[in-house]
Structure 1
Amino acid sequence: MDEIIVGVDESKTARIAAQQAAEIAKAMGKPLHLVMALKRSTATSVSAGGETVVIDDLTIAEDFLRSLKGELAAGTGATHAVVTGDAAHALVAEAERLEAHMIVVGNKRVQGVTRVLGSIPLDVAKAAPCNVYIVHTTG
């Protein structure tokens, strides 16, 4: 096991954290595991020209992770997972499941007034079964 897990979404700050996680994984010779947490999975049907297409969050997230994995860790055996629920809880659960070496997160909402609203990095650091690396991704 021994993965480097990184929590991602489609934000610029998450991409910075993912890039740092990929560099750490490569330097340590450990596999990278990208995780995206969805609050809940929803689907929407769109009809056009007599055809109905179902667009769901899970498929969009899977496509995003596959693309990001290709950019960051092509040919390294990197893996990914889309999970439903709170992001901090999902990262900790994946780390426990995989017996991860490290969780990497960005520092978004770690400082200032927004910290009162909740902070994924701080929540992960409190509950993680492994090392946590918080990447400076803002200002």
Structure 2
Amino acid sequence: MGVIVVGVDGSEPATQAALTAARLAVGLGSELRVVCAYGDYEVERVRDDRDLVFTSVEPATEVAEQTIGRLRNAYPSLTASAQAAGGKPAEALLEVAASVDAEMIVVGNKRVQGAARILGSIATEVARKAQCDLHIAYTYARR
């Protein structure tokens, strides 16, 4: 039993990719790690010279946890955990996958403009750098 990593951001295409990842995890008897990336820390100095650090860790964790709730509606036997990871989405997915020795990363094929339009910029970067299997999920409504 290995770990499958999927990234989410609260969008419908990301949720569709997560549903594919959940189906694969249940079918393979794997744990699913649902990752939501967040940006850099912001530091603000307050009057008494203390630094307050603000991050979007909590909202990112909440997005991942809400996604797991939706996935468990479709796959009640799913074993899953939520994780917020700092950095750009592709970097965050790759880092988490390496840290848990993932057997697979699942990404969506969300359309983008420009050179990365074939797969999407996140899928392209993950495909170039992944050190495990990669599954690209079809994330558009089927006709």
Q: Give the TM-score normalised by the residue count of structure 2.
A: 0.77
Establish whether residue 81 from structure 1 lines up as the match of residue 83 from structure 2. yes
Instruction: Judge which range, 57-66 or 15-24, deviates more.
Output: 57-66
The residue that corresponds to 2:46 in the other structure is none
Determine if contact 1:84/1:90 at 8 Å carries over to the other structure: yes
| Pairing 1:37-116 to 2, within 5 Å after superposition | 37-41=37-41, 57-73=56-72, 76-109=78-111, 113=114, 115=116
Structure 1 CA distance, aligned partners of 2:41 and 2:64?
Answer: 16
Determine if contact 1:41/1:58 at 8 Å carries over to the other structure: no
Shift of residue 71, structure 1, vs aligned partner: 2.1
CA RMSD of the aligned region, Å? Answer: 2.4
Aligned residue identity for 1:105: V
Shift of residue 36, structure 1, vs aligned partner: 0.7
Unaligned runs of 5+ in 2: 44-53
Instruction: Judge which range, 74-83 or 99-108, deviates more.
Output: 74-83
SS of match in other structure, 1:123: helix
SS of match in other structure, 1:19: helix
Determine if contact 2:34/2:83 at 8 Å carries over to the other structure: yes
Q: Deviations over 1:88-125 (max 9, x none)?
A: 11111111110101000001146x53627x70001001
Q: Deviations over 1:117-137 (max 9, x none)?
A: x70001001100100001111
Deviating 4+ runs (over 4 angstroms): none
Structure 2 CA distance, aligned partners of 1:65 and 1:35?
Answer: 6
SS of match in other structure, 2:95: helix
Structure 2 CA distance, aligned partners of 1:36 and 1:133?
Answer: 18
The residue that corresponds to 2:49 in the other structure is none
Aligned length: 126
Instruction: Judge which range, 78-87 or 99-108, deviates more.
Output: 78-87
Shift of residue 41, structure 1, vs aligned partner: 4.6
Q: Give the TM-score normalised by the residue count of structure 1.
A: 0.79
Structure 2 CA distance, aligned partners of 1:3 and 1:13?
Answer: 21
Aligned residue identity for 2:35: V
